Amino acid sequence: MNKSELIDQVAAETDISKAAAGRVIDASIAAIKQALTRGDTVTLVGFGTFHVGKRVARSGRNPRTGVAIKIESAKIPKFRPGKALKDALN
């Protein structure tokens, strides 16, 4: 499912226009992104938790040339599914 399909489904299930559903989804994504930028976690009960993880610096290799390169540490978004989501899949 891509974003436009998600917008279509949200609009159909909530009886709002596709434009309004798109604004809701965009606002939700922006709020999650903003919270993660501040270093907060976002917990959606029954769905899961978004949080910021840390990737340590490491050495890698350029696959084209084989030259060793240094990969710097980075912050990355992570998601832990909630119990209800796990149960829905199994």
Please write the tens of the pLDDT for every residue from 11-67: 999 999 999 999 999 999 999 999 999 999 999 999 999 999 999 999 999 999 999
Q: Is 7 exposed, middle or buried (0-12, 13-18, 19+ CB in 10 A)?
A: buried
Enumerate residues 6+ apart whose C-beta is below 8 A from 85: 46, 47, 48
- The CATH number, out of the four listed (3.30.70.20, 3.40.1280.10, 2.60.40.60, 4.10.520.10), of the domain defined by the range 41-90: 4.10.520.10
What is the structure's pLDDT at 8?
96
Domain spans of the chain? 1-40, 41-90
What is the structure's pLDDT at 7?
96
Beta bridge partners, 54, equal 75
What is the structure's pLDDT at 53?
96
CA distance 59 to 67: 10
> Residue 70's pLDDT band (boundaries 50, 70, 90)?
very high
